[in-house]
Amino acid sequence: METVFQPVVAAMTALFGRPPTMNEMILIPMIPVFGSAFLFEWLYFRRKTGSWNTGQGQPFWTREVLANFSLGVGYYVSGGLMNLLFVAALFTVVWDHRFYTIPINVGTIILAFFVQELCYYWYHRTAHRVRWFWTQHVSHHTGEIMNMSTAARQSILNGIVGTWMFYVPAVLAGFTPELMLGLLGANLAFQWFVHTESVPRLHPWVEWWINTPSNHRVHHGRNAQYIDKNYGGVIMLYDHLFGSYEPEQEKVEYGTPRQIKSHNWWVLNTHEFVDMFRDAMAPGPIGERLKHFWKPPAWQREGHQPIHTWTVERHDEVMVR
């Protein structure tokens, strides 16, 4: 196996100036697969509907698709830079201070899968419930259409806001960083294929256990009953355990309650981060101002009007997160 992957490792090492992490080893070679799946999805939809309209409001709205892919490029580049600067080194330090060393075998890999899913669940749930982390995740949810390119709609702020910290406990417990990052990469690769409207609801048993396209459409909805639901990456087990599961019923309306109206790459990446700091800097008691960092995204402090640096559209059924 090492011989098979050696050319890929060598090429990526030359590209990054360092050996690739396991999630990069999975996600970067998958890019042609992702692109081909998106093209197949697009052709399937066009043949099914007989429509080639890619204008505003259509499932393959050109401006949205281009914004999705541009955000994806930024995510890959910034992720590689963050790994080069400190994330890879950080996990090395954490591993050096681990409590145990868990051997790698079939049983521990299965266990590690469920541990990684648990870490991902709590990262994902926190990213919706704590504004500091929402600043990184919001760009993924501002898409107003749903197709596989929406999965590419990621942020350049991952390393800056510290999404990596949710996996530190697993490494401290004794799971190797390579294994956890590899499983995370597989998790994210799987999720590319659940960002679609081309797959209907599946058998209830499958829907209960797996993060299907139907379950993930709910996660992207701004309908009142869909907000902050279905956080699972590959499985829905933890959503059932922690009370955040919601099946797809009424048609999903995509976007966020305070929808940014922009396709500008920089605005999509930074608008919530900028607004959070501007809200915190606005006059008022320091204790109340600091709450803007850890309170839910829609929290408002008394006497302060939320700041929107760029244009937003308020949804009729805004739910206070």
Per the domain annotation, does 10 fall within a domain?
no
Tens digit of pLDDT for each residue in 82-117? 887 888 889 999 999 999 999 999 999 999 999 999
pLDDT at 26: 87
- Going by C-alpha positions, the residue among 217, 75, 233 that lies closest to residue 167 is 233
Same domain, yes or no, for 220 and 262? no
Per the domain annotation, does 13 fall within a domain?
no
d(CA 219, CA 254): 9
Quote the Cα angle for 217-221-227, to 5°: 120
Same domain, yes or no, for 164 and 291? no
- Measured over the CA atoms of residue 35, residue 37, residue 7 and residue 103, the dihedral's sign is positive
pLDDT at 310: 93
Same domain, yes or no, for 158 and 304? no
pLDDT at 317: 45
Q: What is the largest CA-CA distance in the chain?
A: 64
Instruction: Please identify every stretch of the chain with a pLDDT value under 50, giving residue numbers as ranges.
Output: 1-2, 317-321
pTM of the predicted structure, to 2 decimals: 0.92
Per the domain annotation, does 26 fall within a domain?
yes
d(CA 38, CA 295): 36
Long-range contacts of 23-27 (CB under 8 A, 24+ apart): 23/181, 23/182, 23/184, 23/185, 23/188, 24/79, 24/80, 24/83, 24/185, 25/182, 25/185, 26/182, 26/185, 26/186, 26/189, 27/76, 27/185, 27/188, 27/189
How many Cα atoms occupy the beta-carbon half-sphere of 94 within 13 Å?
Answer: 22
Per the domain annotation, does 157 fall within a domain?
yes
Per the domain annotation, does 301 fall within a domain?
yes
The H or E element that residue 312 is part of is strand 312-314
Range of the domain at 142: 20-46+60-242
Domains of the chain: total: 2
Residue 302 backbone class (left: φ over 0; alpha: ψ -120 to 50; beta: rest):
beta
pLDDT at 15: 63
Q: In the structure encoding, which two tokens stand for residue 14, read together?
A: 């030359």
Same domain, yes or no, for 234 and 272? no
pLDDT at 316: 55
Report how many helices (DSSP H) and strands (DSSP E) the chain contains, helices first: 15, 2
Same domain, yes or no, for 159 and 202? yes
Same domain, yes or no, for 213 and 291? no
d(CA 236, CA 254): 21
pLDDT at 3: 52
